Structure 1
Amino acid sequence: MSEIVPVFDGHNDFLLRLLRDPDSRDITWLTDTGQGHLDLPRMRAGGFAGGFFAVYIPSPKAHDDPNFEAIMRNPPFVLPLPEEIPFAAALPVAMKMVGHLLWMEREGSLSICRSVADIRAAMAGGKIAAILHFEGAEPIDPDLDALHVWHSLGLRSLGPVWSRPTAFAHGVPFAFPSSPDTGDGLTEAGKRLVKECNQLKIMLDLSHLNEKGFDDIAALSDAPLVATHSNAHALTPSSRNLTDRQLAVIRDSDGMVGINYATGFLRADGIAETFAGFDPVMRHLDHLIETLGETRVGLGSDFDGATIPSDMGDVAGLPRLIDAMRAHGYDEALIAKLAHENWLAVLERTWGG
């Protein structure tokens, strides 16, 4: 295995693991328990230098909910959209998750970054460089007062939706095969949210957003268009993946896409089961690079939120992915762009210097 390349990653759900087991957060973060995809020792072993740490509000589960994971292993399927979560219900959950990230910073091994200079300093100092990201805007009120509160706490990236409706937009259902054109565009509150995020220099994440909402943000936003963890619809026709038309819009905005390791968004058959090797990852990377260009593609793992390739295993397997890129013919300059340089560049274009 060659020298470890630093990786800056577009999306992880580690904070959700801490939400579900807060009493063990020191063990979950600081020791290699072999559980999930992420912890500090495995991050360091794999070269994980930082990334977007998502605050995601889980939908309440009923006793009669279907087994969604089993359904996604047996396409075709269309999963129903969960119901909208009210702001008052989402707010305390988000507070707990942000509190966990602040604890990780106080512990001393992670830094919450508000600028690219912060990211570079954290990476140089051996700390995990974390961006506070909301995967769904449920913890924000339609008047946007809470947006300013969260911004003051470090929020620098926001997806208006997960795959359910919010006061601002409509998410795509998990469906295969399916177009992302599944519903209405932004609400009036959503249009105000886009403009306010532009003013505050909060990056807008297009992952999980339906096509009409995507087009509304593209028309309204003055920032680069970014999808932190999405793949190519032309190769895997999932509702969660981006069409070539959408990729061209992102390219023309000088934005970027982080490739998602979720197997159901990588496999041509849409089956959400793991696989050996990295061939589907390479096919999606090739397509994204061909469509977007070498400077607009990165990694957006979905660690701790998805079934990933077995040869990756967890974050400690990142060097195996990098070696697969080399074997595929990518040179060191391109690998560095994909691994971290492109993310830092698009954040500079979004946040400023």
Structure 2
Amino acid sequence: MTDPLIFDGHNDLLLRLHNRDISPGVDGFQGGGGRHIDLVKARKGGFGGGFFAIYVPDAVDIDSHDEMMATAYDLPLPEEVSWPDAAPVSLSQAAILLQLERDGALKICRSTNDIRSCLATGLIAAVMHMEGAEAIDPEFHMLDVLYQAGLRSLGPVWSRPTQFGHGVPFRFPGLPDTGPGLTADGKRLVQRCNQLGVMIDLSHLNEAGFWDVAELSDAPLVATHSNAHALTPHSRNLTDRQLHAIRDSDGMVGLNFAVAFLREDGRMDADTPIDCMLHHIDHLITQLGEDRVGFGSDFDGATVPKDIETVAGLPTLRTALRRHGFNDALMKKLCHDNWLRVLDATWQNPAKNAGK
């Protein structure tokens, strides 16, 4: 079952290509050699595209899988990455996405019409996204350059602090209320993104920063890959109060497939039933409404349920949703229409203070 096509709120493919975990050539991404996402698996699973994240890895790669199998954990956050260190890595990943477009593997989408065209023709739709704004300088020169290259979505932080704000740790059980809100530069960044029509991603941002964005932004509030704290009390998940603020802004949330944010026990265990995903979707729909929920898998950046494993396994998710009682109209909303709706509102209607 590959219909409707799924437009997804988050993946980390560019980091894997940057790290040379897979090759972008015939034997790699385009030939079926990817881990979670490649062209062969995408066609098999009905993966229509999504947000392709630019992410700066830490200097030391720490494997946290074993720690997140415990009954409780609190992983220390890495130190802030400086702008001079982050900029070349981010530009490299942006260049990889541009190369994939030149190779005909996907299209970088700057409008919802671009996304709709890709979904209609079968070409993968890619939104250039930045997960953590370490590479953005205080004068926003890099933001302007990346915007011209296709950047249309940005998260001020990935958990570790940046000059713009503070993220949530990987803590279970835990709350997202973990520290101070946006810095003065962070508030300026939100305003500049509003002016450009760049979507602000609230995933990974701590609760104080969340409320700062809610107060400042004229755009819908969006968390590209987050789940419900009421079901899984992980610091990465959103409280019902946060979900209600997203609802009231007519924003949306993309369901994260990462098992630690799905399971009641918070364990990073791939042996996680699809029912956990269904429970979170039900809760998100109850709190947000059926027009404000989609998918934000975190493919190529997380451990996902073994029954799905890669984008080739997305038919398993569709089948489960159908058996759960979701009709054609709701399936289409969840799979891509809700993302198109919120991006229409964000990209085509920049803030009223544009140009100020």
**How far is 1:44 from its partner?**
1.0
Amino acid at match of 1:350: T
How far apart in 1 are the matches of 2:283 and 2:195? 33
Partner of 1:326: 322
Partner of 2:354: none
The answer as to 2:327 corresponding to 1:306 is no
Residue-pair matches, total: 348
Shift of the 234–122 alpha-carbon distance from structure 1 to 2, 3 Å rule, reads: same
How far apart in 2 are the matches of 1:283 and 1:29? 33
* Correspondence 1:139-288 to 2 at 5 A: 139-288=135-284
**1:5·1:319 contact (CA, 8 Å) conserved in 2?**
no
**How far is 1:276 from its partner?**
4.7
The answer as to 2:4 corresponding to 1:5 is yes
How far apart in 2 are the matches of 1:8 and 1:24? 23
Alignment RMSD: 1.2
**1:298·1:337 contact (CA, 8 Å) conserved in 2?**
yes
TM-score normalised by length of structure 2 = 0.96
Shift of the 107–265 alpha-carbon distance from structure 1 to 2, 3 Å rule, reads: same
For each residue in 1:54-75, what CA deviation from the matched residue of structure 2 results, as whole angstroms up to 9, or x when unmatched? 000001117xx5x421101113
Identical-pair percentage = 57
Shift of the 3–200 alpha-carbon distance from structure 1 to 2, 3 Å rule, reads: closer
**1:18·1:28 contact (CA, 8 Å) conserved in 2?**
no
Amino acid at match of 1:209: L
3-state secondary structure, aligned to 1:85: coil
Structure 1, unpaired ranges of 5+: none
How far apart in 2 are the matches of 1:179 and 1:23? 36
**How far is 1:122 from its partner?**
1.8
How far apart in 1 are the matches of 2:3 and 2:272? 21
How far apart in 2 are the matches of 1:248 and 1:86? 35
For each residue in 1:224-243, what CA deviation from the matched residue of structure 2 results, as whole angstroms up to 9, or x when unmatched? 00000000000000000000
TM-score normalised by length of structure 1 = 0.96
Shift of the 22–37 alpha-carbon distance from structure 1 to 2, 3 Å rule, reads: closer
- Residue 89 of structure 1, aligned match among 75, 85, 110: 85
**1:15·1:97 contact (CA, 8 Å) conserved in 2?**
yes
**1:263·1:272 contact (CA, 8 Å) conserved in 2?**
yes
3-state secondary structure, aligned to 2:307: coil
3-state secondary structure, aligned to 1:309: coil
For each residue in 1:220-259, what CA deviation from the matched residue of structure 2 results, as whole angstroms up to 9, or x when unmatched? 0000000000000000000000000000000000000000
**How far is 1:100 from its partner?**
0.7
The answer as to 2:32 corresponding to 1:32 is yes
Partner of 1:43: 42
For each residue in 1:73-104, what CA deviation from the matched residue of structure 2 results, as whole angstroms up to 9, or x when unmatched? 11311111110000110011011101110110
